[in-house]
Amino acid sequence: MKYLTVSLYHPSVMKGGAQYVAKDLHDVARADPDTDPVMLAAIDANIFPQYAKTGASITALPDGDHEYLLPGQRFVEFYHLIYDKRRNKAVRHFLEQHRPDVIHIHHSLWVGLEFLQLARKVLPGVKIIYTLHEYLPICYSRGQLFRYHEGAICHDTAPDQCVKCFPDHTTDDFILRRRVFRRAFDLVDHFIAPSEYLRSRYVDWGIEADRISVIANGHTPRRPEGWTPTRSADLNVFGFFGQFVDAKGIDVLLRAAVAVSKTKPVEIRIFGGNKQYASEDYVAKVDKILKGAKKNLKITEAGAYSRDNVFDLMTTVDWVVMPSVWPETFGLVVSEAWDARRPVISSRAGGLTERIADGVDGLTFLPGSATQLAGIMDRCIGNAALWDSLSGGITDEVPMTEVWDAHKTIVQKIGRETAA
Amino acid sequence: MKTTFLHGRYAEGNGDLAERFGTDADADANLNEHFTRYGQHEMRGIKAEDYIRLEAVFCSDRGHIQLAGWADRRLIHSFHVTVEVGYIRYDLGEVTPCWYERADVTAVTGDTQQDSGYLALLKIDGLILHSGVRILINDKKMYDEPAMRWLSIDSFLTRSLSACAVLADQPVGNTLSHAQALYPQYAEIWGEYLDGLTFSAAFQHRAQAPVARSIIITLHRKAEMLLIQLDSLAEALTRDGETEVIVIGNELAGAQLLVEQLGAFCQIHDIPLSLHLCSGNSGFSAGNNHGAEIARGEILIFMNPDIFPPETAPERGTDFLFSDPGEDLHGALLYYGDGMLMHSGMYTTADLAFNARSGVSAPVLRVEHFGKGLTHHVDDAADIIAPTLAAIAGQPVLASAALWKIRKTVFDAVGGLPIDYLFAYYEDADFCLALRGQGRDIVIDNTARWIHMEGVGKAKPAHVRSFMWLNRALYSQKFADSDLLSDESADLSLL
């Protein structure tokens, strides 16, 4: 089976959850003797001009094995369309040359929704599956289903509601945007959702329920064989892993930590980057919280991390906190924390609710509630019995081979449907 | 009561008259006569700027001049305009500006009986451009600009129309006469502007392919929905194989990018498609007329750039494209973006525009839409909307040019879309009435359903409000006596 993976970015170009998932699947497919995989990663060549060769719309990833890049110069952000002649020609020839049996698309950003039409035109019988990694098709607000003006999760994606986040647009704009995505998605044989929550949101939006399957993202363990988890003596080190952006809820964690530090010493370690993408208001809010910090509170900003060192970094904290205020689609950090047997304290937001079993392998709180989180942190500090219980309750994430098998099953199912 | 002419004060304040007539009692009669005949009109002894102001001046390089300001008309009885450009004086004589109510002026002057705001549109024939411009009203210098910025005609038109919004925004009865007075002047400017425009082909795909019909889409400035619109039509057009799409771009921004995108579109959808760019904004009529002129199909389909077939059942829209309208003009049921009925055809009716202060009333036409406000959905079964459609049977229905289907021969026989309307609005109703006047019929195809993503709740710019106002005046003037108007009772009961 010739299996083409089309992704937004490649981890070698820029790290990110969706491209990691795409690359992991590509790699596991390469190990499958029945599969001949090839990967095509769309990138924004304005940000990464070093990958854009003049006149070449497709170029090989240096030292990559069957991995190619599709650099683009422009992208219609609202509709996720490109319509580039040179690129269309290159993609057409690429598809004709590789003739995949399956095209697995992981994103429309910089891929362009018309890619689906072109693929159908060039290869009418190709099976197209599409992994929905976030909510961009149904939410123009960074694909987060988070109403920044209200500071709350968006539960209603009706076009008139979108105007509340984007007053410069009209309801018709969002009706048309939805139409563009739906029309392109009609060309997809089957969708993959990493969580039931994400699946349900897309079903509510209009994708037929039987066209979306849930397959967890899978994880390749980094934990050495025979490794035993350890913890600090005071069990008061809480780690945050992720981007320093508004919807990740660092402010909630810090407010909780400030409250707890009034009675107990607390240490917060922040591993993440992209602070530049946080809003000015948000950074100001965080700074204000930090000004109120007591001497009992130690906060360390450790900067960015990668999957290569995340296991080791996880072991430097006792607890991993995911205070997201947006409905996380899956929660890759949970997989990474579990790998290091760190109990996760997470908000009950989106896909996280499916992953953390409260009191079994972690603890949960209401999204945005610093009070609830403070109570949990207070309970956790120095509580070895709780830590042992939760850490011992953690099971391994679904392995990549299993995830790949689940994809193959879906591909086969499409075949049966087509044959029927 | 005894009234005395103060000849001494008049002579003292006007040295030229003192020198001519003297200042003693013997000069009384001469000075009195001068004051009566000239002095009061020349505002002698009055500080002009206390009673008349010139607040805005626009000048085109073709000699068009617009003046706007206010005056206290109890003291300002005449409006004699002189324009000095460089070394040449142009005496435009006594002009009749459009006077309108200005509450801010009334609050100061205290005159609630007469309109104090004025707006005048003038023309200097044979203007020789120069840097310095002076404007005198009643021989008083009101404006002195040493480095005039002359506007090109399109710029003048836009700015001048924007200034007219103070008239357009008033109740139509207050300013209908002004619209009727100003329209001929604007029509002349509009005509000059149109004459200077050109069209050029910017993109052509399968230009020689034989076609039976031509879809004409005229854009203004933006093409943001075009590719999505074309994509929504592509499947049906590809299947049909005999339809070309002609896109006309008026003042199109980002044309080069659009050309690139259309090429990419045609790589996926192999349909005859062309883009023609106008050097300016030819408006709805001239743009579509150009499309009709270059169309190769026998049947023309005029389509706004915000028209889409229904999402759930596109064939309910696209089937409309492929039938022959015969000698009639065909329109379709149009629905809002949210799927609710926008209208099932239009009608036109008359109101009385009145101005109680001037004691004048006159008919002014209005274009209305059947079915607007009804809760029919684009996905509703035919029997749900049938009673609505039955209710309008027999009415003189018009079709919105948002979507028209007509044979080219018929379109030409009517004379194409009228280009005497500025930019847009009312030309489609005019065409419909002209067509019906030729004994032809207009049919709203009840089986055809289309989504019209017309902007909702967007405020119209000032110049747009003005040309709508002028066009309405023209439309009213042309068709006030037409027997194709729907009467008042129909207007009160039909929805």
Say yes or no: do domains A2-218+399-419 and A237-392 share a fold. yes
Q: Which helix (H) or strand (E) holds B264?
A: helix B255-268
Which member of B263, B453, B458 has the closest CB to residue A176?
A: B453
Q: Which residue of A has its CA nearest to B265?
A: A83
Please check whether residue A223 is in contact with residue A403, taking contact to mean a CB–CB distance below 8 angstroms: no
Which member of B227, B261, B337 has the closest CB to residue A171?
A: B337
Q: Which residue of B has its CA nearest to A184?
A: B231
Supply B346's token pair.
């239009």
Over residues A292-296, mean pLDDT: 78
The Cα–Cα gap between A311 and A169 comes to 44
Supply A78's token pair.
């609202």
φ, ψ of residue A304 in degrees (nearest 5): -75, 160
Chain A residues with beta carbon closer than 8 angstroms to that of B264: 82-85, 87-88, 114
Q: How far away is chain A from the Cα of B55, in angstroms, using its nearest Cα? A: 33
Cβ neighbours for A212, distance < 8 A, ≥ 6 positions apart: A132, A190, A191, A192, A193, A199, A202, A203
Is residue A417 over pLDDT 70? no
Q: Which residue of A has its CA nearest to B307?
A: A176
Burial of residue B280 (CB within 10 Å: 0-12, 13-18, 19+) is middle
Is residue A420 over pLDDT 50? no
CB contact under 8 A, B453 and A172: yes
Residue of A281, A286, A376, A275 lying closest to A322 (CA atoms):
A376
Please check whether residue A114 is in contact with residue A91, taking contact to mean a CB–CB distance below 8 angstroms: no
Q: Which residue of A has its CA nearest to B454?
A: A172
Burial string for B347-384 (b: 16+ CB within 10 Å, else e) reads bbbbbebbbeeeeeebbbbbbbbbbeeeebbbeeeeee
β-partners of residue B67 are: B57, B120
Tell me how many degrees the CA angle B123-B129-B135 measures, rounded to the nearest 5.
55
Question: What is the pLDDT, as a whole number, of residue A54?
Answer: 86
- Residues 249-288, chain B: which have Cβ within 8 Å of A? 257, 260-265, 267-269
Q: Is B441 on the interface with A (CB under 8 A)?
A: no
Task: Convert the pLDDT of each residue in B422-435 to its tens digit.
Answer: 999 999 999 999 99
The single residue listed with the structure tokens 């170009």 is A13
Domain A237-392 has CATH 3.10.20.30: no
Chain A residues with beta carbon closer than 8 angstroms to that of B227: 81, 83
The Cα–Cα gap between B219 and A389 comes to 67
Please check whether residue A43 is in contact with residue A72, taking contact to mean a CB–CB distance below 8 angstroms: yes
Question: What is the pLDDT, as a whole number, of residue B359?
Answer: 87
φ, ψ of residue A359 in degrees (nearest 5): 85, -5
CB contact under 8 A, B456 and A84: no
Chain A residues with beta carbon closer than 8 angstroms to that of B267: 85, 88-89, 92, 118
β-partners of residue B363 are: B352
Which member of B231, B264, B336 has the closest CB to residue A88?
A: B264
Please check whether residue B427 is in contact with residue B418, taking contact to mean a CB–CB distance below 8 angstroms: yes
Regarding predicted confidence, which is higher, B46 or A367? A367
Which member of A87, A176, A183 has the closest CB to residue B225?
A: A176
Q: How far away is chain A from the Cα of B464, in angstroms, using its nearest Cα? A: 20
Q: Which residue of B has its CA nearest to A74?
A: B257
Chain A residues with beta carbon closer than 8 angstroms to that of B232: 179, 183
Other Cβ atoms closer than 10 A to B228:
20
CB contact under 8 A, A118 and B265: no
Average pLDDT over chain A, rounded to an integer: 93
Q: Is B455 on the interface with A (CB under 8 A)?
A: yes
Which member of B228, B232, B458 has the closest CB to residue A79?
A: B228
Over residues A287-313, mean pLDDT: 86
Burial string for B315-327 (b: 16+ CB within 10 Å, else e) reads ebbbbbbbeebee
Which member of B263, B265, B337 has the closest CB to residue A175?
A: B337
Task: Convert the pLDDT of each residue in B46-61 to its tens digit.
Answer: 888 899 999 999 999 9
Tell me the HSE value of B398 on the side-chain side, using a 13 A CA sphere: 25
* Length of chain A (residues): 420
Task: Convert the pLDDT of each residue in A43-84 to its tens digit.
Answer: 999 999 999 888 889 999 999 889 999 999 999 999 999 999
Chain B residues with beta carbon closer than 8 angstroms to that of A79: 228
Tell me how many degrees the CA angle B21-B25-B26 measures, rounded to the nearest 5.
55
Chain A residues with beta carbon closer than 8 angstroms to that of B225: 176
Cβ neighbours for B239, distance < 8 A, ≥ 6 positions apart: none
The single residue listed with the structure tokens 């072991």 is A315
Contacts by residues B457-460 (CB-CB < 8 Å, ≥ 24 positions apart)? B457/A170, B458/A170
The Cα–Cα gap between B348 and B369 comes to 8
Q: Is B225 on the interface with A (CB under 8 A)?
A: yes
Report DSSP state, residue A396: P
Chosen from B261, B342, B378 to mutate, greatest number of chain A CBs within 10 A = B261
Q: Is B2 on the interface with A (CB under 8 A)?
A: no
Please check whether residue B174 is in contact with residue B101, taking contact to mean a CB–CB distance below 8 angstroms: yes
Task: Convert the pLDDT of each residue in A263-279 to its tens digit.
Answer: 999 999 999 877 777 78
Question: What is the pLDDT, as a whole number, of residue A419?
Answer: 38
β-partners of residue B100 are: B117
φ, ψ of residue B171 in degrees (nearest 5): -50, 135
Low-confidence ranges of chain B (pLDDT < 70): 455-457, 494-495
Question: What is the pLDDT, as a whole number, of residue A418?
Answer: 46
Using only C-alpha atoms, what is the Rg of chain B? Answer: 28
Residue of A236, A197, A251, A224 lying closest to A369 (CA atoms):
A251
Task: Convert the pLDDT of each residue in A75-122 to its tens digit.
Answer: 999 999 999 999 999 999 999 999 999 999 999 999 999 999 999 999
Please check whether residue B248 is in contact with residue B199, taking contact to mean a CB–CB distance below 8 angstroms: yes
Q: Are strands A319-322 and A344-347 parallel, antiparallel or unpaired?
A: parallel
Other Cβ atoms closer than 10 A to B470:
28
β-partners of residue A322 are: A346
Q: How far away is chain B from the Cα of A175, in angstroms, using its nearest Cα? A: 7
B433 three-class SS: helix
Q: How far away is chain A from the Cα of B234, in angstroms, using its nearest Cα? A: 11
CB contact under 8 A, B267 and A89: yes
DSSP B343-375: ES-EEEEEEEEEETTTTEEEEEEEEEETTTT--
Range list of β-strands (E), A341-383:
344-347, 362-365
pLDDT band, very low/low/confident/very high, at A329 (cuts 50, 70, 90): very high
CB contact under 8 A, A114 and B264: yes
Is residue A227 over pLDDT 70? yes
Between the CA atoms of B310, B315, B316 and B318, what dihedral angle is there, to the nearest 10 degrees? 90
Cβ neighbours for A296, distance < 8 A, ≥ 6 positions apart: A261, A262, A263, A264, A265, A266
End-to-end Cα separation, chain A, in angstroms: 20
The Cα–Cα gap between A343 and A360 comes to 9
> In chain A, where are the structural domains located?
2-218+399-419, 237-392
The CA–CA distances, whole Å, from B364 to A248, B370, B476 equal 60, 19, 5
The CA–CA distances, whole Å, from A407 to A193, A203, A215, A216, B19 equal 11, 20, 8, 11, 108
Chain B residues with beta carbon closer than 8 angstroms to that of A171: 337-338, 456
Chain A residues with beta carbon closer than 8 angstroms to that of B457: 170
Q: How far away is chain B from the Cα of A83, in angstroms, using its nearest Cα? A: 5
CB pairs under 8 A between A and B: 67
CATH number of the A2-218+399-419 domain: 3.40.50.2000
CB contact under 8 A, A172 and B337: yes
β-partners of residue B203 are: B275
Which member of A84, A117, A170 has the closest CB to residue B260?
A: A84
Helix, strand, coil distribution of chain A in percent, nearest 5? 40, 20, 45
Regarding predicted confidence, which is higher, A182 or B372? A182
Supply A203's token pair.
């079903």
Q: Are strands B403-407 and B299-303 parallel, antiparallel or unpaired?
A: antiparallel
Which member of A83, A176, A183 has the closest CB to residue B261?
A: A83
Residue of A316, A311, A356, A302 lying closest to A230 (CA atoms):
A316
Please check whether residue B61 is in contact with residue B79, taking contact to mean a CB–CB distance below 8 angstroms: no
Is residue A416 over pLDDT 60? no
Please check whether residue A23 is in contact with residue A7, taking contact to mean a CB–CB distance below 8 angstroms: yes
Q: Which residue of B has its CA nearest to A116?
A: B268
Question: What is the pLDDT, as a whole number, of residue B457?
Answer: 60
Q: Is B227 on the interface with A (CB under 8 A)?
A: yes
CB contact under 8 A, A83 and B227: yes
Please check whether residue A320 is in contact with residue A314, taking contact to mean a CB–CB distance below 8 angstroms: yes
Q: Which helix (H) or strand (E) holds A96?
A: helix A85-98
Regarding predicted confidence, which is higher, A167 or A15? A167
Q: Which domains occur in chain B, in start order?
A: 7-39 (no CATH), 48-151 (2.60.40), 199-493 (3.90.550.10)
Question: What is the pLDDT, as a whole number, of residue B495?
Answer: 63
The single residue listed with the structure tokens 């003049």 is A54
Task: Convert the pLDDT of each residue in A125-177 to its tens digit.
Answer: 999 999 999 999 999 999 999 998 888 999 999 999 999 999 999 999 999 99
Please check whether residue A237 is in contact with residue A316, taking contact to mean a CB–CB distance below 8 angstroms: yes
Supply A364's token pair.
């949960």
